[in-house]
Structure 1
């Protein structure tokens, strides 16, 4: 019922009212003056654009779960703080820091989840994605500041991050793929 209220049919085509409102707001902003004529002109332009140029229905494959998102953000913030401290330590310490290239296999086959995992990894200081093998579901990471054999720790950390990302943003199929459903 709400779908029909938010996108009524005009001459056989759906017109999404939130998009019309957004386009009208942009129209009024571009004109620089709120007047009845500008608002009506913006609404007319919004209806015309959305009716003449309908957007396809897209599902980005992302669902937000507030509790899992809060957990993801807390752990991600902690990881960033620890990684920043590790990088700062090695910046001020004489000599070269320990670095390693680690190949990590992802368990998810979802492109959306893979992109979110890659984004999270790229934002943590001390780790850079050197290469992504999408068909093989593998990432090659350059990690800084983890002494000894870092491969096992990095793989475990990425698997935990992947689980948190899928729990916070994944569809039911994504969660089932990781055994979280």
Structure 2
């Protein structure tokens, strides 16, 4: 096993141990050791697939992503509330297929997770081989709104790649049409 793979497993074990301690709500030696043992057992019995991270975290990109993500959460929350309290109106929805431009496993996962956290959108399926996210979107009334949502997802992908992506992924997005 490579040095990077060992490092990844150690980070995963540490993360699982922290979650264990937080769930128990007790910061004692027994809780920490027990959490570490459980984490090692989980990682041996259910090994994680190798995910390589070839990028560097870009501080300015992370700030831009976080700021826009927070704004998207607030705006989407108000949109969902307005749909919920519109009496006599049945909200329409759609399932929109979005083909990502830099469909690495990590980028696909980060984009899907970010989308699922925004109220009114939910990932229903992923075509990993082709890099396609199928997203259920609340409040879509027309084909134009579905296209606008696709563009919003591609913009989200661009912000994520600028924050966390590899140089190769950034090049792909620079060469892709806006």
What is residue 30 of structure 1 aligned with on the other side?
29
2:97 maps to 103
Instruction: Look at both structures and tell me which one has the larger radius of gyration over its CA atoms.
Output: 1
Pick aligned residue for 2:128 from 131, 134, 137: 134
Q: Which has the higher contact order (CA 8 A, sep 6+)?
A: 2
1:114 CA drift (Å)? 1.0
User: Are the aligned partners of 2:55 and 2:167 in contact in 1 as well (CA < 8 Å)?
Assistant: no
Match 2:83 to one of 90, 100, 103: 90
Does structure 2 retain, via aligned residues, the 8 Å contact 1:118–1:129?
yes
The structure 1 residue matched to 2:147, chosen from 141, 152, 156, is: 152
Alignment gaps of 5+ in structure 2 = 1-6, 15-20, 22-26, 34-49
Match among 60, 66, 71 for residue 73 of structure 1? 66
Residue 156 (structure 2) pairs with residue 161 (structure 1) = yes
Q: TM-score, normalised by structure 2?
A: 0.68
More helix by share: 2
Q: How many residues are matched?
A: 137
Give the SS at the match of 1:178.
Answer: helix
TM (normalized to structure 1)?
A: 0.67
Unaligned runs of at least 5 residues, structure 1: 1-15, 33-41, 43-56
